[in-house]
Structure 1
């Protein structure tokens, strides 16, 4: 094995979608969030597998992502764009039949003026202060915009990863105050919101990170295996250093394996002091700093030189790796670089 290999289990992604779909009742539709190239795992293959499993609505971040998704899924899928109708998006929205989630009076005006009669959704700000129409603005325009027939009215929870955070109930209350009585379908829950329970589900849920094996969906099936080839092994004497800055100094004679991957491949430099890789089920600690293209690993406790070591797999998921770097699983997933050979298992 001469190249680092990222194996993506499409069956696991589909199983996670079905499990989250199973958390809601039959009146609630489950969409799929495939923005950022399906969280770095390949939008065409991932979305096609989810489409075949029954997903009919997909969310992307920007219109350009919608173009790649439309090419993969064809004309039938409904593709929603979180960023709405940005300046310059009109031709893509028109030509590809995208549904922008309009976030402001400016976007509503742009959409109505440039694409009269075209489908759209609305995003409301219920307290996250990131995207969406604020309550005062909504009160001023709702009776003007609702008769135009939005296909979805949504908002986004800021703290759903923590089910005990009181701000979840506060946002739910605000969303209800802004939307109760409207005829358009409603959506509030992404993965975390689904796990908060039926009161957050409304007409449509939008799981993202849970599809790909990440928190807070503790029951998710693992999706990834990332196997890194060993370039070279060497003996290191007590007192010798390994890597830039000499941050690792051997306290006893040991053996070091140098692996072909680094922070250019999304293996974040900050994980150097805490992360491990695995030889089967045996953990092997990183030794020294993560560099651009290389990792160095202490394998002195192994009885053979390995040909490869796994940094993601059954024994270590994206959140475990993220913990070692002081970040979140989302960043690990979306940083996995283009030099990995991507293999798809299942389906």
Structure 2
């Protein structure tokens, strides 16, 4: 199936079966690959890996990994053992790092799948070395140093001790994680880089990695040997406050299943939180918070509501976002666009993930990773 235009996405092309579901998620794999190639081109010759945790940020780990591997991506990062085992089945020759590290008891399965845990404690180090001794070989791993996140990782001052105690494993990567790379003027970025440089010096010949999506755009250019973008691959903006340099990957459409006219004063939805200020026309679409639309996109005083594109017009959510439904005020939509069976855009070219997240007072990462499984899914490109 080729790339389909935004207009085609909204009308659902007739060259494939009309989905019986009331929601449609189209994943533009060519845009995903384009984003990966763009990030690779900006990374100063460093290898560009890909973070594919949380089911490929909600878009489908299998499709995402196949597309990226086909484009040349050779290194993937996942969160946990189960994601790693899935990744190994999808990409038998890839290098796969597990960000959780060595969770107690997981070492045998990590080793069996050829996964490389990101080790950040001496307890993990000992468990991984012991697993290698049982197998009669040194097992590969990343060594994670905490330069400010205070979440996972060795303290930088421990670098010499880590070198001494890591002789039972085979380090292939030394890494850290930015706290505020999306804020290029934040001085913590430069401080973290300064703290990481002496750590890296303790591991000559071992690859180093620090830059996430936003890290690729920092003025300090902290590319080192491997960059590991995630959010930007999937169309998220790695440069908040500036134009998004990435292409949209996720496109969500929903079908109108009911339309009705309201008189002034009529309310909509649970608790009657919205009251029609004029004669109004409203449309109910078959998607709600069970499909990943944030309940916080509900209209509230002094807060913008979520929106949908109906026939080219922006139509706000009215009433509460409920489990299965959202109601739209389509009073000002073009005639004929807001009718039963028509498709409306919730996420895509006109409403990007940042805009939807802002109107729900959340972040785009949450929007993507909570996309529901009830959507019909189309993979384009």
Question: TM-score range with shorter-chain normalisation?
Answer: over 0.9
Aligned mates of 1:111, 1:146 — CA distance in 2: 11
Structure 2 counterpart of 1:188 = 210
Structure 2 counterpart of 1:65 = 83
Aligned mates of 1:196, 1:136 — CA distance in 2: 25
Aligned mates of 1:95, 1:149 — CA distance in 2: 16
Structure 1 counterpart of 2:43 = 24
Q: Secondary structure at the match of 1:151?
A: strand
Structure 2 counterpart of 1:166 = 187
Which of 288, 291, 302 is the aligned partner of 2:322? 291
Which of 238, 247, 260 is the aligned partner of 1:221? 247
Which moves more between the two structures, 145-154 or 210-219? 145-154
Q: How does 1:116-127 map to 2 (within 5 A)?
A: 116=133, 117-127=138-148
Aligned mates of 1:57, 1:194 — CA distance in 2: 16
Deviation of residue 22 (structure 1)? 0.4
Deviation of residue 198 (structure 1)? 5.7
Which moves more between the two structures, 173-182 or 292-301? 173-182
Aligned mates of 1:161, 1:85 — CA distance in 2: 29
Structure 2 counterpart of 1:314 = 349
Extract unaligned runs of 5+ from structure 1.
none
- Using the size of structure 1 for normalisation, the TM-score is 0.96
Aligned mates of 1:315, 1:286 — CA distance in 2: 16
Extract unaligned runs of 5+ from structure 2.
1-18, 300-304
Q: Secondary structure at the match of 1:286?
A: strand
Does residue 276 in structure 1 map to residue 295 in structure 2? Answer: no
Q: 1:233 to 1:271 in 2, by over 3 A?
A: same
Q: How many residues align?
A: 344
Structure 1 counterpart of 2:131 = 114
Q: 1:68 to 1:149 in 2, by over 3 A?
A: closer
Q: Deviations over 1:134-153 (max 9, x none)?
A: 12333433233268431000
Does residue 211 in structure 1 map to residue 233 in structure 2? Answer: yes
Structure 2 counterpart of 1:54 = 72
The answer to which structure has the higher helix fraction is 1
Q: Contact (CA 8 Å) 2:139, 2:169: kept in 1 or not?
A: no
> After the TM superposition, which parts of structure 1 deviate over 4 Å for at least 4 consecutive aligned residues?
none
Q: How does 1:37-186 map to 2 (within 5 A)?
A: 37-73=55-91, 75-116=92-133, 117-145=138-166, 148-180=169-201, 182-183=203-204, 184-186=206-208
- Using the size of structure 2 for normalisation, the TM-score is 0.88
Q: Secondary structure at the match of 1:107?
A: helix
Q: Contact (CA 8 Å) 1:24, 1:198: kept in 2 or not?
A: no
Q: Secondary structure at the match of 1:150?
A: strand
Does residue 337 in structure 1 map to residue 354 in structure 2? Answer: no
Q: Deviations over 1:6-38 (max 9, x none)?
A: 000000000000000000222x11100000010
Q: Deviations over 1:68-127 (max 9, x none)?
A: 111222x20111100111112123212210011111111001000122311111111011
